[in-house]
Amino acid sequence: MHSFGKNFVKGIIRSNPTFILLLGLCPTLAVSTSLDNAVGMTAAFLFVLLVSNIIISLLRNYVPDRVRIPVFIVIIASLVTIVDLMLQGFVPALSKSLGMYIPLIVVNCIILGRAEAFASKNGVSDSIADALGMSVGFGLAIFVISFIRQLLGTGELDLFGRSLFTIPGLSDNPVSIFMLPMGAFFVIGTLLALFRWMGVSKGE
Amino acid sequence: MSNLLAIFLGMALVNNMVLVKFLGLCPFFGVSKKLSSAFSMGIAVLLVMLVASGVTWPVYHLLLAPYGVEFMRTVIFILVIASLVQIIEMAIKRTNLTLYNAFGIYLPLITTNCAVLGITFINIDQTYSFLESLTAALGAGAGFTLVLIIMSGIRERLGLADPPKAFKGTPIAFITAMLLGLSFLAFNGMV
């Protein structure tokens, strides 16, 4: 039980996939324009990482070492296809707004990285903890970025059509650059600098 | 012909892979520290994109679509790309050892480059013809190489600059990417 907690916690802050390891940035930056997208992407990511970690850790003694990477990729790609079809079927609007970033989870370095570095060497319960921790870390990062971008870029926050709150003056004249792609670069660059300044992560 | 030119310019400048679509960010920040390695990486990606588009287009339209198994494209495409990269690597090793050494580690890394898988998806989603797909791949690769080279030039200079301590390294690189993206916004009305 001790190792379960340890493996869970490490993904959240100490080796946060986005802010500390700087892995899998493509979906994080691309879809972080609204909280809806953040929820959808985190859910898809959690499912793929959790199931792939479980399967790979179960198979770890049976897969020959030389073909392990292709095997991992096929497992991950099949899971991503499942998620893609489920989203298209149940939440078509969300699937449309996430677009091709859902199938692109296949080449997300975090998922293959966890398979190779963790799940293929550890037991099932540790792998589950690792997947949950990494997903929470990933979700946290994408939520923070989406929150800042949506708030400043549109002046209001809403989640699945329900308005959470509005900043009076800002919603008429939003800082629309935050909704543009370059806004994402600005937000993550500033956040990384902030974390260094606060001493959460190490500088160079 | 003008259609092809529009696709090429649109992919290279207006909908730039890195700055607008956020594909291939890992090599963009990982390999853009030196000009020479940025160039090798860019050309390697361009090459793989071109070959991957040329192979996945017939695979999708002649194999997956007629049998109604389009949903298999994610699995099939990633396998095709992974094997292609392996084959290209072996071919280059056999024919041109200098080039092989120049590419070094970058070629195998391309398998997990989302820009390559991304362009094959874009080709299918936009219902491009075979020729248009190749043009799109060429444009995307050229755009990728272009921003990688610009970025590495700026980062070589940045090494001499003196940003605030917390911004040193990656954070300032992100801010640079933002400014670069802003300047690419000027291409928006072009196509």
- pLDDT tens for A84-96 read 999 999 999 888 8
Task: Examine residue A9 and state whether it is found in any structural domain, yes or no.
Answer: yes
Tally: H helices and E strands in chain A:
9, 2
Q: What are the beta bridge partners of residue A165? A: A157
| pLDDT of B1 | 66
Is the ipTM above a cut-off of 0.85?
A: no
Nearest CA in chain A to B69: A81
Of A106, A108, A185, the CB nearest to B178: A185
Range of the domain at A149: 2-198
Alpha-carbon Rg for chain A in angstroms: 18
| pLDDT of A1 | 54
Structural domains counted in chain A: 1
Q: Does B39 touch chain A (CB under 8 A)?
A: no
Closest CA relative to residue B19, chosen from A184, A33, A38: A184
| pLDDT of A79 | 93
Task: Examine residue A204 and state whether it is found in any structural domain, yes or no.
Answer: no
Where is A78: in which H helix or E strand?
Answer: helix A68-90
Q: What phi and psi values does residue A167 have, to the nearest 5 degrees?
A: -90, 120
Per-residue pLDDT tens for A125-174?
Answer: 889 988 998 899 899 889 999 888 888 887 777 777 666 677 776 667 77
In this predicted model, which residue has the larger pLDDT, A114 or A10?
A114
CA distance B163 to chain A (A): 11
For chain A, the maximum distance between any two Cα atoms, rounded to a whole number of angstroms, is: 61
* Chain B CB contacts of A29 below 8 Å: 22, 25
- Residue ranges of B 54-83 with Cβ closer than 8 A to chain A: 71-75, 78-79, 82
* Chain A CB contacts of B170 below 8 Å: 22, 189, 192, 204
| Burial classification of residue B183, based on how many CB atoms lie within 10 Å of its CB (0-12 exposed, 13-18 middle, 19 or more buried) | exposed
Subunit contact B78:A108, Cβ cutoff 8 A: no
Task: Examine residue A45 and state whether it is found in any structural domain, yes or no.
Answer: yes
Subunit contact B114:A112, Cβ cutoff 8 A: no
Q: What are the beta bridge partners of residue A156? A: A166
Where is B54: in which H helix or E strand?
Answer: helix B35-58
Task: Examine residue A191 and state whether it is found in any structural domain, yes or no.
Answer: yes
Task: Examine residue A104 and state whether it is found in any structural domain, yes or no.
Answer: yes
Tokens encoding B102: 């120049």
- CA distance linking residue B155 with residue A197, whole number of Å: 22
- Residues A6/A92, Cβ–Cβ less than 8 Å: no
Nearest CA in chain B to A18: B26
CA distance A46 to chain B (A): 18
- CA distance linking residue A197 with residue B174, whole number of Å: 16
- CA B69 vs CA A98, A170, B56: distances in Å: 22, 48, 14
- CA distance linking residue B153 with residue B150, whole number of Å: 5
Task: Examine residue A203 and state whether it is found in any structural domain, yes or no.
Answer: no
Subunit contact A100:B125, Cβ cutoff 8 A: yes
Subunit contact B75:A74, Cβ cutoff 8 A: yes
Task: Examine residue A143 and state whether it is found in any structural domain, yes or no.
Answer: yes
- CA A131 vs CA A21, A31, A48, A116: distances in Å: 15, 21, 9, 13
* b/e code B111-134 from CB counts within 10 Å (16+ = b): bbbbbbbbbbbbbbeeebeeebbb
Of B167, B177, B178, the CB nearest to A193: B167
Closest CA relative to residue A110, chosen from A82, A136, A71, A87: A136
Task: Examine residue A98 and state whether it is found in any structural domain, yes or no.
Answer: yes
- CA distance linking residue B77 with residue B71, whole number of Å: 11
pLDDT higher than 60, residue A43: yes
First-residue to last-residue Cα distance in chain B: 14
For A133, left (φ over 0), alpha (ψ -120 to 50), or beta? alpha
Closest CA relative to residue B111, chosen from B89, B90, B96, B133: B89
Of B26, B117, B182, the CB nearest to A25: B26
Q: What phi and psi values does residue A163 have, to the nearest 5 degrees?
A: -75, 125
- CA distance linking residue A119 with residue A72, whole number of Å: 10
- Please indicate, yes or no, whether the overall pTM of this predicted structure exceeds 0.95: no
Per-residue pLDDT tens for B39-98?
Answer: 888 888 898 899 999 999 999 998 888 888 888 888 888 888 888 888 888 888 888 787
Q: Where are the domains of chain B?
A: 2-11+25-185
Subunit contact B168:A106, Cβ cutoff 8 A: no
Contacts of B25 (CB under 8 A, 6+ apart): A25, A26, A29, B18, B114
pLDDT band (50, 70, 90) for residue B27:
confident
